[in-house]
């Protein structure tokens, strides 16, 4: 029977692609079984808080979605983009927590789990764009060429994001720095494009109630970028933040806080601007989301078929 307190390894005992800068201990044994990975949720290792900092919020977002869908009055007219967006808010932390939980799987399991994580995060970017197009766009931009092409470009960006981030998995072992650069670009560019309407409204210094919330979301997005790329604080004190406080945990917390601020901002805009923006069609909303999801699934299928077996891990004497 696998134990939640399985033997943990130090950095020199796991393959280089498993190691994180500044994290010296707390690694789960590579080639673990699925049951061992799931049981590790209940024992402290360097992935435990990465899992729970996204698993709990995923449950909260899912509860919000089900509450909306299950209300006695049913979903209101024009709330399709909000529901699609809320669904992606629940999907990406759920996929992330699953990827971190299964990150010690043997064979192709680890790569497949993280590729699914990237695809879910790309769909969250598309969900944000759908909500922004419907509720957040500057009123003077509504009906413009940019507005007309905003969602189609966001669909394309979502597909490119999934493709580039999944491709980065193939570079991780031999070219880790390039892999990290590709993965960062895969999510930074769509975020910047999606946020153009928000940045424009913030630059006008209006007194709308949602703008402070959009500002906090933007600040959290900046903090997620800095924590993901800097590996601080563990770089400054290797081994001191192996279990609690390392940069990926900060990345997760800032990302979730940003989503909470974004969700509140979208809700405020949806309520205050009702009747001032054209109601989007359900077909356009869910058709766009469906196209992005179908393309991402196709990319995942290609990646899964192309993955090559990993060499067996070798422990180094120390």
Which of helix, strand or coil describes residue 1? coil
**DSSP bridge pairs for 105:** 32
Supply the pLDDT for residue 74.
57
**d(C-alpha 99, C-alpha 300), whole Å:** 14
Asked if the 13-306 domain carries CATH number 1.20.1070, the reply is yes
Across 78-82, 147-151, 236-240, 288-292, least confident range: 78-82
The pTM of the full predicted model, rounded to 2 decimals, is: 0.92
Across residues 37-42, what is the average pLDDT?
92
pLDDT of the residue at 196: 98
Q: Which residue has the tokens 């201990």?
A: 25
- Average pLDDT for residues 196-214, to the nearest whole number? 92
The reported pLDDT for the residue numbered 216 is 97
Of 209, 88, 214, whose CA–CA distance to 158 is shortest? 88
In whole angstroms, give the CA distance from residue 48 to residue 55: 11
Dist CA 186 CA 164 (whole Å) = 6
Res. 310 pLDDT band, cuts 50 70 90: low
In this predicted structure, the answer to whether residue 64 has a pLDDT above a threshold of 70 is yes
CA angle 234, 237, 241 (to 5 degrees): 50
Mean pLDDT of the chain: 91
> How many other CB atoms are there within 10 angstroms of residue 144's CB atom?
12
Q: Is the pLDDT of residue 93 over 60?
A: yes
**For residue range 226-270, what is the model confidence (pLDDT) as tens digits?**
999 999 999 999 999 999 999 999 999 999 999 999 999 999 999
Residue 3: Cβ within 10 Å count: 11
Please enumerate in sequence order all residues whose Cβ is within 8 A of that of 166, keeping only pairs 6 or more positions apart, or say none: 115, 118, 119, 299, 300, 303
Q: What value does the mean pLDDT take over residues 200-209? A: 87
Q: What is the residue extent of each domain of the chain?
A: 13-306
Q: What angle do CA 75, 255, 225 make, to 5 degrees?
A: 135
Measured distance CA(11)–CA(9) in Å, rounded: 7
Confidence of residue 317 (pLDDT cuts 50, 70, 90): very low
Contacts of 301 by beta carbon, 8 Å cutoff, 6+ apart: none
């Amino acid at each position: 029977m696998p134990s939640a307190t399985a033997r943990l390894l130090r950095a020199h005992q796991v393959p280089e692609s498993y190691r994180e800068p500044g994290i010296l201990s707390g690694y789960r044994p590579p080639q673990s079984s699925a049951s061992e990975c799931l049981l590790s949720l209940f024992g402290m290792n360097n992935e435990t808080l990465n899992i729970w900092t996204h698993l709990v919020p995923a449950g909260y977002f899912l509860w919000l979605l089900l509450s909306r869908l299950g209300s006695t009055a049913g979903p209101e007219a024009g709330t399709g983009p909000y529901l699609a967006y809320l669904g992606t808010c629940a999907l990406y932390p759920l996929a992330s927590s699953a990827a971190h939980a299964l990150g010690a799987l043997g064979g192709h399991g680890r790569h497949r789990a993280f590729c699914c994580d990237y695809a879910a995060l790309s769909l969250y970017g598309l969900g944000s764009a759908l909500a922004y197009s419907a509720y957040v766009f500057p009123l003077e931009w509504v009906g413009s060429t940019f507005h007309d092409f905003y969602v189609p470009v966001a669909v394309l960006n979502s597909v490119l994001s999934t493709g580039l981030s999944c491709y980065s998995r193939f570079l991780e072992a031999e070219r880790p720095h390039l892999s990290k650069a590709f993965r960062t670009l895969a999510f930074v560019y769509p975020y910047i494009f999606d946020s153009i309407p928000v940045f424009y409204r913030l630059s006008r210094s209006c007194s709308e109630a949602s703008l402070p919330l959009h500002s906090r979301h933007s600040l959290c997005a900046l903090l997620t970028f800095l924590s993901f790329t800097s590996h601080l604080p563990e770089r400054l004190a290797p081994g001191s933040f192996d279990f609690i406080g390392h940069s990926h945990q900060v990345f997760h917390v800032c990302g979730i806080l940003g989503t909470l601020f974004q969700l509140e901002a979208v809700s405020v805009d949806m309520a205050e601007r009702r009747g001032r923006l054209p109601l989007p069609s359900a077909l356009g909303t869910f058709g766009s989301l469906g196209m992005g999801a179908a393309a991402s699934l196709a990319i995942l299928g290609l990646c899964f078929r192309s993955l090559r077996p990993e060499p067996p891990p070798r422990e180094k004497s120390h």
